[in-house]
Amino acid sequence: MPRMLLSVGYLSLAGAALAHNVTILSDAPVNQEITGLLWWVLIFAVIIFGVVAGALAYTIWKFRAKPGDDELPPQVHGNDRMEIIWTAIPLLIVMVLFVLTAQTLVKIKRPVAGSLPIEATGWQFWWDFQYPDEGLRTAGELVIPVGQPIEVKITSGDVIHSFWPPSLTGKADAVPGEDNYLRFMATKPGNYYGYCAELCGASHANMRFRILALEREDYTRFIEAFKAYEAPAPANERVARGQQLFNAQCAACHAVKGTPARGVIGPDLSLFGMRTTLGSGVWDNTPENLKRWIQDSSAMKPSSKMPPFTQLSDADLEALAAYLYSLKLDGFDFAQLPRY
């Protein structure tokens, strides 16, 4: 109940549409730590408000002008004892908050043995993700296991970005030439929303990502299948045509595992057919959105670094879409994951 009340206050500030992105409603351990701090601040704030407002109300009532009061009341200048008290109390409160905050900081910054290392690189306007231990690469949607600590090494390839999945943890800046670390753990499976939290250009607001947390067995199955994965041989004419177009027009910037496409300027598209979103976590991954994206991505995402392909015929777009949707592992349905 108190947690609910606190959430109501928070939500009225943050906007109800972001209900799945509220730190204090999250079970993730780092967010629980931060929520604990928030409680301390709230307790002190309520006490201070009560004392100050109460004293003010009492004074106004007690010393109000009464009939027959024609003379000025006694005039007082300064009170050493009170000044010492009202300096000492805030100092004490700030010291308590300092100690609590320092404890929390140490706890959430400490490297955890058995963490899964991940490397995240921000680019205008998308996120590249790598699994250094497995030699795997993806973009926009990062798959992790539930119940294992994750250690994300964050950097940027161009300007300063910031990596922030609010339902899982706080944020860390992505700075070119520098590595910052975020450590967190998902406690339940889900499709967690993430945002770039540092103004980075015209499409900063369109630079998002997702973290897909899977049960341990599903995660292991996913990683093993991904390691063994090579883009499947085209199942029909259309997919074959799509692959051919892709290798001719898109492979300079995009990679697809097990094919000649090895570009690294744009997102890795090896498992694009499994993505729940398109354009770095912004649009639903539907054929309509995909075709619109390929034709002119900057019409959807201003200043997108992917060039337009307005010369492609409808049949070509269909073929490219058919090829991209063939790039997936069987036996997974990420669309079913609850969203946080």
Q: List residues binding ligand HEC (CB under 6 A).
A: 125-126, 139-140, 246, 249-250, 252-254, 265-267, 272, 278-280, 293-294, 301, 304-307, 309, 320, 324
Considering the complex, state which of residue 188 and residue 291 has its C-beta at the smaller distance from ligand HEC. 291
Strand ranges across the sheet with 136-139: 136-139, 126-131, 116-123, 150-156, 180-184
- Dihedral pair phi/psi, residue 181, rounded to 5°: -120, 140
Of residues 8 and 252, the one with the C-beta less far from ligand HEC: 252
Q: How far apart are CA 175 and CA 157, in angstroms?
A: 8
Measured from the CB atom, the residue of 193 and 332 that comes closer to Cu ion is: 193
Query: In the bound complex, what is the minimum distance in angstroms from residue 123's beta carbon to ligand HEC?
Result: 7
Q: Which CB, 162 or 270, lies closer to Cu ion?
A: 162
Q: Using DSSP, state whether 122 is helix, strand or coil.
A: strand
Per-residue CA distances from 332 to 72, 147, 148 (Å): 82, 19, 20
Q: Is 200 in the site for Cu ion (CB under 5 A)?
A: yes
CA–CA separation, 246 vs 320, rounded Å? 7
Of ligand HEC, Cu ion, none, which one sits near residue 241, judging by CB under 5 to 8 A according to partner kind? none
Looking at the Cβ atoms of 122 and 189, the one nearer to ligand HEC is 122
**133 Cβ contact partners less than 8 Å away, ≥ 6 residues apart:** 116, 117
Cβ of residue 122: shortest distance to Cu ion, in angstroms? 5
- Dihedral of alpha carbons 308, 312, 318, 324, sign: negative
Distance CA 89, CA 91 (A): 5
Nearer to ligand HEC, 229 or 309 (CB): 309
Q: Where is 222: in which H helix or E strand? A: helix 216-228
Which helix (H) or strand (E) is 41 found in, with range?
helix 29-62
| Least spacing, CB of residue 200 vs Cu ion, in Å | 3
Decide which of ligand HEC, Cu ion, none touches 301; Cβ closer than 5 to 8 Å per partner kind: ligand HEC
Rounded-to-integer distance, Cα 54 and Cα 171, Å = 39
Among 30, 139, 142, 196, binds Cu ion (CB under 5 A): 196
- Cβ 285 to ligand HEC, closest distance in Å? 7
* Stretch 139-168: interaction string toward Cu ion, x if CB under 5 A: ----------------------x-------
Angstrom distance (rounded) from CA 44 to CA 77: 29
Of Cu ion, ligand HEC, none, which one does residue 171 interact with (CB within 5 to 8 Å by kind)? none
Q: What is the closest distance, in whole angstroms, from the C-beta atom of residue 127 to ligand HEC in the complex?
A: 9
| Residue 207 makes contact with Cu ion by CB under 5 A | yes
**Closer by beta carbon to Cu ion, 28 or else 196:** 196
> Encoding tokens for residue 228?
């063994």
Note if the bond before 226 is cis, omega within 30 degrees: no
Summarize as ranges the residues that interact with Cu ion (CB under 5 A). 161, 196, 200, 207
